Structure 1
């Protein structure tokens, strides 16, 4: 009788421990739900690279939330394997924001995008530089050691202006109504505002990345 009671006690204790561990795991891995933490685009958009996980950040240089999210997003990008393709698309919600899109693509065309994007955002959000006109932008770029005339030629080029316009159209096609917004595989949409926090948005991106692989990059 005593032996049976001990066995029963041990079983109950083991069950409680298992429930406790499960509860801790659940707390550490918050539930991720469609409609709450991410949504699906009404019309799925084509991806550029087959057999890859495509991740697009729609952003605007002047957006304080984009600047605030940048450290977490950059850290996430750096730890991704080779089958994850990440790119940024500048969004101009108004005509007077188009110079920022041209700035982004001009720097990219000159091979200086990765090195300069964070500096552009720092200048705007920490040094109070608006960079709203061509002259303001060119002066600032020149202050960073880039030849002013070469930059302006690139900034004014048909290729850069076309890319800036295409980016605006792309944002409309993807129904982007705020930034920063992350779109994965042309299908899944999340952001710190959708997920609730920056940390949760990163967790959602990890979840969607695994889901995309599991679904064979669909």
Structure 2
């Protein structure tokens, strides 16, 4: 656990700040070109991204953010296609998960299969992860090339382009603000996660 935390902290500039203070340019960045119509809270990730694995599976940042969000606030996760040999296929698979409402069922086993056991080498392997997680094969197959899934793929690609996404993990609020991990307090895992979640809540409520 300590090694994993140090690995994540290595990409973050240590910064000592009060969890109660949120400053533009530190814990978050105001986008030069806000993008209208984006989800209230939008997270980008890739199953190929080691830091995304730590973010989700070790630090549970997404879960902590959800707990802090005001009632009625929607949090959306999009997969990016620019990492890994099956990046485009995994983005389409994530669209299938979204269409079928099985994101929570798929996230952990897909991360494990892609990064830990490395058993995802083909599109058939991706399908197997879904089936093993309890998704019926015929439902997966029907969704794969459906209009809904194609639309969700396009939606993910457009959001990444419009927000000029540079890397993952990344989180945006109201298409106006991007969380800035370099400005978070990394003195401990708990403090980092707490401040990250508190910053998202602050930005959601920011007028």
| TM-score, normalisation: structure 1 | 0.72
* One of 16, 19, 27 as aligned partner of 1:37: 27
Measured in 2, the distance between the counterparts of 1:146 and 1:29 equals 41
Cα gap change, 1:152 to 1:194, in 2 (>3 Å):
farther
Q: How far did 1:35 drift?
A: 2.1
The residue aligned with 2:202 is 210
CA RMSD of aligned residues (A): 2.7
Q: Which residue of 1 aligns with 2:110?
A: 120
- CA shift for structure 1 position 38: 1.9
Q: How does 1:191-206 map to 2 (within 5 A)?
A: 191-193=180-182, 195=184, 197=186, 199-200=191-192, 202-206=194-198
Contact kept in structure 2, 1:38 and 1:204, CA below 8 Å = no
Higher relative contact order (CA 8 A, sep 6+): 2
Q: Is residue 147 of structure 2 the alignment partner of residue 158 of structure 1?
A: yes
Q: 1: distance between equivalents of 2:28 and 2:183?
A: 7
Q: Which runs of 5+ in 1 are unaligned?
A: 1-25
Label 1:145 to 1:205 Cα distance change in 2 as closer, same or farther (>3 A).
Answer: closer
SS in structure 1 of the partner of residue 34 of structure 2? coil
Normalising to structure 2: TM-score of the pair?
A: 0.75
Distance 1:208 1:72, change over 3 A: closer
What displacement does 1:192 show? 3.1
Is contact 2:37–2:175 with CA below 8 Å preserved after alignment? yes
Q: Secondary structure at the match of 1:82?
A: coil
Gaps of 5+ in 2: 1-15
Contact 2:91 2:153 in 1 (8 A): yes
Q: Which has the larger radius of gyration?
A: 1
- Indicate conservation of the 8 Å contact 1:100/1:132, yes or no: no
Q: Displacement, 1:59?
A: 0.9
Distance across 2 between alignment mates of 1:157 and 1:169: 18
Q: CA deviation at 1:173?
A: 0.7
Per mean C-alpha deviation after superposition, the further-off stretch among 104-113 and 190-199 is 190-199
- How far, CA to CA, are the matches of 1:145 and 1:164 in structure 2? 23
Which residue of the other structure, out of 82, 96, 103, is the alignment partner of 2:93? 103
> By percentage of residues, which structure has more helix?
1
Tell me by how many angstroms 1:74 deviates. Answer: 1.1
Q: CA deviation at 1:28?
A: 5.0
